[in-house]
Structures are given as structure tokens and as C-alpha cells.
Amino acid sequence: MAKAIMIQGTGSHVGKSIITAGLCRIFKNMGYRVAPFKAQNMALNSAVAKEGGEIGRAQAIQAEACRIEPSIHMNPVLLKPNSDMGSQVIIHGKFVGNMKAREYYALKEKAWEAVCESYRKLSGEFDLIVIEGAGSPAEVNLKDNDIVNMKVAEMANAPVLLVSDIDRGGVFASLIGTMELLTPSEREMVCGFIINKFRGDKTLLEPGLEFIEKRTDVPVLGVIPHIKDMGIGEEDSVGLEKTCRGGSVTSPGQGNALPLHKAINIGIIKLPHISNYTDFDSLQREPDVQLRYIQRPEEVDGLDLVIIPGSKNTIDDLLSLRETGLAEVIKRHCGNGKYVVGICGGYQILGLKVSDPHGVETEGGSEEGLGLLPVETTLLKEKVTANIEAVIPHSALRTPHLIRGYEIHMGETTISGDVKPAFVINKRNGDAVDIPDGAVTKDGRCWGTYIHGIFDNDGFRSDFLNGIRSDKGLDVLDRAAKKDDGFDRLADVLKENLDIERIVEFIEERRLRIGKEAGADQTIEHGWSA
């Protein structure tokens, strides 16, 4: 059975996901067969695994770092918030219902069984599992229902690296406070601290590092500098909130240094129930793209492209666009010959009507869409999740490239007017098919699709953006940032600033110690990896 290491944090968005991805690439480069694992993920961003089920986007990215295909067993339980009180619950990649917290707690035994089943499967296929926790293991009101932090570390016999974000302030208090709130057996599992997002002279930290090591008897295994964009992607919803404080913040790309007339200016509508905003990471890395998340009508002024992203509640978000005045502004933007694109829920919003006869998102009924595409959508009870390949059947989108991406939606959309499908899906979950997808106007300036990850296709993205560049009189570009290079750069930063040899020693020591205590006949079913 596999060895394991677990990354936990003193809170949300301290860098657990990115450090997990970096360690996955380091161990992969060391020759391990390595896989990521997160028992339960609460995520706005999701992806489709090789089995056709839905998992957290972070685990799909971590699988890329391992150079393997993502599996439903890397994230057996996924919660997708669709209101302040409730979430879609997905187990082993399949939607099982919309639940409030108390309803989900009643399902925890089934969820834990799924966690154990998935870990056993991965542990039998790989040499090393890099496990990510969630939030903080010291949330005393949640510990009785924990299936993602210390309970998983105990099940997998994984030494725990505890990460804290010094950029937020209070790093020593957060580390010591977390340790104080853990039980003695939990504290024993913590083998080291990682201080993340440090700016400045590390020698100034030395008195603090000595203090915390003496106070807790736990070594600091590394101080990670504040890492600029590696081209890998944000962690999750907290990352979007941080980026969009005040509702409108530009991307960290080079395009922000350019005047408006020399950049491609893109606005992503920050829907109240936005999902899968990682669809736009690749756009953000383009050198002349200036990307903003917008919430007010006046923010559309000067944009070349408006994108309506995915949504976990399409009808509510459509009503929100009307209430804020954005609906009319987006229609005028399109009428002025500018570009408008809708992805998944955004595609549904661009149409004539969205109907919910089964009460999937509402109590039933229907709402008129923006009317920019002559399509109509009916929300269905069953969710479609699939990895796909597609082609472009005509020239409106200026590119003949093969498209790869994934579908995650609970709606069926039909064309009812004089437009053509934007794409034709010819492979779904490995099976040959012939399924039209999306719709596009004759001039190619307004289109929608169910395909997530559409802009991750380098050739398509380059050609589409070059069309906008040509319209503005800008030079066309032939350059695509490679995500794999980002993983290697991240691994280099971690290797330079973490004591990797000691981390490996902790993995081996815990495996050997537990093996001696448990005896040769113990198995993962009893919480040990023999």
C-alpha cells in the first residue's frame, strides 16, 4: 500500500492546494508514482474525471502535476455551494442531491465510506499519496463531523505538514493556536510547519522560528516566498473573492500595464452564483489581455469582450443581471458589434428562455433570457458530466482546431432560430458521438457553449483573440503559455525553500513506526498502510 503525506492549513486559502500540486510534481520528478487526494472539497470550480464524474478543479490540476489523468477517487466527496445555506452534493463523481448542512451531516457515514473506498483504491495503485486537507483542523464546532482533516490523516497514517499564510499576519499565533486546539494524538501527527507567502528578508524571521519550534517542539520545514502567478490557477472561491474585492479588479497579467487601446479588454460577469471561473485562467495569462470581474453596468464601457460564466443557479443569476441593469448593457454591447460569449450557464442566459419544469433551481416556471442567441434551455434532473473532444463545423470562429474540454450541466439547450452550432462534439467520455453544441452568430461575435476549458485550447484561444486584435488594429500573437512549465517552476521554488529530504524522512519514519505497532497483518481498512 502507498505511503502518504498530508498538507493541512491554519485556515482557508493559506496555500494548501498549490503546495500540494508542487509536492506532487517534486515527487513525480523523483520517480514516485504519485497521486493527489482530497476527501471532501467545497468548491466553486470543478472538472470531469476520466470516469466521467465530477471532482474539484484543484484535484484535476494536482493530477496534471502528477502527469496522470484525474480520477473520481482523488476527490470522492464534492460540495458545490448553490446558496448561503445549501450545496450540491456529489459523491464519487455523481450528483446525489441539493442539501443543507444538517441534511448532509445525516449522510456523513455514507460519505466516509466513499472516502475510505477511494483512498484504498488509490493506495493500491500508487507509491505515494499527497493528501490535502480543508480549512483548518482546529474548527472545534466541526470536528465531530470531520472527514477531511485529522480523521483522514489517521486513516492514511500520513504525517501532517501544517501551512500558514504570513501575508495575512498573525502567522505564529495561528500555528500555535491551531496546535493548542488539537488533541494530543493529533498534535503528534504534525511533523512540521510551512510558512507561506513570505515577502522580505528571511533572516528577520529567525527569532520567531526559534520561538515557535521551542514552544511546540515542531520544526519549521520551510518558508515559501510569495509566489507570483505560475499559470496554474487559483485555489477556489476564496481566491475569487480576494481577486474581486470591490467587484472590479484587473488581472495580474502584463496587459494591465497597457493603455486600453493597446490591450484586449475582457470583462467576466461576476454572477452571484458564479462557478468554474478557472475557465478564464488561460486568458488572464495572455500578455496583452486586461481582464476584470465586473458587477456594475458602467464597468462594461471600453470592453472588447464580455463573458458570462458558468452558474450554479442560472435563473437567479439571470434575474440578478436584470436587477443590476447589466442585462440591457450586455445587449447594447453586442448590438454595437462587440464580442459576447457565454459558457455553460452563461450560454443558457444568452438564449430566449430558461425553463425549470422540475424545480431543479427554483419552484418551477421559466424566465426570458437576454435573447442574443435563438436557443431555449430546459433544466433537467440529471446532470451531464463528460470529457469531450469537439470540432468547429464552420468558419465563424476563425479556427479549425480540435477542441478538448468537459461538460458539467443540468440543462438541455435547443436551437430555435437561424444560427449554427458553435461546435460539434465527436467524442464524449471516449465514445464516438455526433452532438451539436452551443450556437454562434454569423459574424462570430456572439456565441455560447457548454464546453468548459474552451480557452485552455491554445490554438483556439490564440485564433479567437487574434480576431479581436485584428479588429483593434493590434499585432496578432502566436504565443501560448504552457501550464506544465508552471508546475516545474513551482517545484523549483518549493525545492529551494523546503527541506524535502526531511519530509521524505518523516514519511518513511511514520510508515515504519506504524508498521511495527500494527503488525504485519494490519491493512488500510484498520487505518494503516502496511
Q: Residue 343: which residues within 8 A CB-CB, separation 6 or more?
A: 276, 279, 307, 308, 309, 310, 448, 449, 450, 451, 452, 454
- Number of continuous H segments (helices) and E segments (strands) in the chain: 16, 26
From 210, 199, 233, select the one nearest 62 (Cα to Cα).
Answer: 233
Annotated active-site residue in 191, 244, 334, 344: 344
Decide: 11 and 196 in contact? Cβ < 8 Å.
no
Would you tell me how many other CB atoms lie within 10 Å of the CB of residue 368?
12
The DSSP bridge partners found for residue 3 are 128
Instruction: Tell me how far apart the alpha carbons of residues 178 and 290 are, in angstroms, rounded to a whole number.
Output: 40
From 261, 264, 266, select the one nearest 248 (Cα to Cα).
Answer: 266
At residue 511, the pLDDT reads 62
Which fold, 3-41+112-230+485-526?
Answer: Rossmann fold (3.40.50)
Buried b (16+ CB within 10 A) or exposed e, 31-69: ebebbbbbbbbbbbbbbbbebbbbbbbbbbbbbbbbebe
Grid coordinates given for 200 = 522580505
Which fold, 239-480?
Answer: Rossmann fold (3.40.50)
The DSSP bridge partners found for residue 106 are none
Grid coordinates given for 67 = 502527469
The domain ranges of the chain are: 3-41+112-230+485-526, 239-480
At residue 284, the pLDDT reads 87
For the stretch 386-423, pLDDT in tens is: 999 999 987 666 666 789 999 999 999 999 888 899 99
At residue 491, the pLDDT reads 96
Instruction: Tell me how far apart the alpha carbons of residues 312 and 349 are, in angstroms, rounded to a whole number.
Output: 12
Chain-centroid distance of CA 520 in Å reads 39
Q: What angle do CA 62, 491, 61 make, to 5 degrees?
A: 15
Q: Do the two domains 3-41+112-230+485-526 and 239-480 of this chain adopt the same fold?
A: yes
For the stretch 96-126, pLDDT in tens is: 988 888 888 889 999 999 999 999 999 999 9
**How would you class 177 by CB atoms within 10 Å of its CB: exposed for 0-12, middle for 13-18, buried for 19 or more?**
middle
Q: What angle do CA 158, 132, 220 make, to 5 degrees?
A: 70
Measured CA to CA in angstroms, residue 529 lies from 3, 160, 276, 391, 520 at distances of: 7, 16, 35, 46, 10
Active site residue 452: yes
Active site residue 344: yes
Annotated active-site residue in 73, 92, 409, 452: 452
At residue 234, the pLDDT reads 54
The DSSP bridge partners found for residue 413 are 377
| Residue ranges for the chain with pLDDT beneath 50 | 237-238, 242-254, 520-530
Indicate if the alpha-carbon torsion angle 227, 232, 238, 239 is positive or negative: positive
Decide: 446 and 373 in contact? Cβ < 8 Å.
yes
DSSP strands (E only) in 364-504:
366-368, 375-391, 403-415, 423-428, 431-437, 439-440, 446-449
